Structure 1
Amino acid sequence: MHENASFPARVTVLRLGHRPGRDDRMTTHVALTARALGAERALLVGDTTGSRDTVRDITDRFGGPFAVDVVDEWRPVLRDWDGVVVHLTMYGEPVQNVEGAVRSAVLDRSEPLLVVVGSQKVPFEVYDAADWNVAVTNQPHSEVAGLAVFLDRLFEGSELAREWTDAEKRVVPMETGKRVVDAGEE
């Protein structure tokens, strides 16, 4: 559970599939988006140690809590999950039609949530195992975009004001320019 009281949900993102050389950057961005927008953990399947190491480095520098791990197989994760499963797919029900029910299951009943994000073609068993197959539009788009929209809708924007702990660095919001300072520094 998040240490920040505004994050009562336990959200894990499962990156289903990874094509080395082709998906390295995308897998990293799935995990970074999960981290930035309220998930507490990402599970990356397959040859994803480079993505895992990058995300751990970002978490060390910019704060957490957030965990990222590599798993060999996604099937045991999905089979053994004790909570709600949402599979993000363009073939699912529109997010605006199911977000309230998902939010109620996850936030009101404190059920842990597994958000499954695909890479290559997703086996039908994932669709079948999901409590909800959810679409952020029924058009082809980036799985990173779908994850971002879904998490923002789940948390109703509260994730944007999240507090980060144990950060070495902090981004200072500015109208123009870039400023990164040591944590605790203004």
Structure 2
Amino acid sequence: MVIEVVRIGQRLVRDDRVTTHVALVSRGFGAEKIYMTEVNPEIKDTIEKINNTWGGDFKIEFIEKWKSIVKKKKDEGFKVIHLSMYGENINNAQKKIRDEKNLLIVVGAEKVPREIYELADYNVGVGSQPHSEISALAILLDRIQEGKQFEKEFPNAKRKIIPTKNGKNVQIKETRD
């Protein structure tokens, strides 16, 4: 399954951290790429540093118009999932989504245009109360992959967390320059 994410919009200043966390969750929970509109370019530097230290090749692409990437991905056979508090309950949608081959997950920042509801193959809500788009994305990614995303190794990692009951254990690989 190929998973990519689109972040639509950003509330200036307030959302730099939130948008960075949307990217981090996308990366850490199994997506391969995120497309972003209206974003602080330093976010890309942050994610590249994470990839360099913790491994993987998660990609960020800045786009001007979300609609063109959604339409392009639909033409390529991707199913579009729009995360929305108003969507179909995740408990009812997760099995159908899990059976799809390629997914493009749309995560809004501010009020999203009505058109995304119509373009999406699935409008999915993880709850019917106000909540964070970060948590909604994490829950969706976990549910559709059934936790398997945490079994994969990130290639070329300089650091790796070794799970432990108490304390912290980080394996650091030596690099030779």
The code of the aligned residue for 1:145 comes to S
Matched, 1:55 2:47: yes
One-letter amino acid of the counterpart of residue 39, structure 1: A
Do the aligned residues in 1 keep the contact of 2:3 with 2:104 (CA within 8 Å)? yes
1:39 corresponds to which of 27, 31, 41: 31
SS in 2 for 1:105: coil
Which amino acid in the other structure matches residue 55 of structure 1?
A: I
CA distance in 2 between counterparts of 1:167 and 1:70 reads 25
The aligned residue for residue 90 of structure 1 is 85
CA RMSD of aligned residues (A): 1.5
2:141 maps to 1:165: no
Q: Is the 8 A contact 1:48 1:70 kept in 2?
A: no
> What is the match of residue 96 of structure 2?
101
Give the counterpart letter for 2:95 in structure 1. Answer: G
TM-score by length of 2: 0.92
Runs of 4+ more than 6 Å apart: none
TM-score, normalization by structure 1: 0.87
Which amino acid in structure 2 is aligned with residue 63 of structure 1?
G
Corresponding residue of 1:138: 128
Of 130-139 and 97-106, more deviation after overlay is shown by 97-106
- Deviation string for 1:30-59 (max 9, x for gaps)? 010011011111111113311121111101
C-alpha distance in structure 1 between counterparts of 2:23 and 2:62, whole Å = 11
Residue 21 of structure 1: SS of its match in structure 2? coil
- Report how many aligned residue pairs link the two structures: 172
Distance 2:45 2:62 in 1: 10
The equivalent residue for 2:19 is: 27
For residues 132 and 171 of structure 2, the distance between their equivalents in structure 1, rounded to whole angstroms, comes to 31
Q: Select between 47-56 and 85-94 the one with higher mean Cα deviation.
A: 47-56
**Match of 1:66?**
58
Q: Percentage identity across aligned positions?
A: 39
Find 2:4's aligned residue among 2, 12, 15. 12
In 2, Cα distance between the equivalents of 1:54 and 1:100? 34
Gaps of 5+ in 1: 1-8, 107-111
1:107-163 CA-to-partner distances (Å, cap 9, x unmatched) read xxxxx2100001000110011000000000111100010000000011011112121
Q: Which whole-Å CA distance do the structure 1 matches of 2:151 and 2:174 have between them?
A: 17
Local SS of the residue matching 1:55: helix
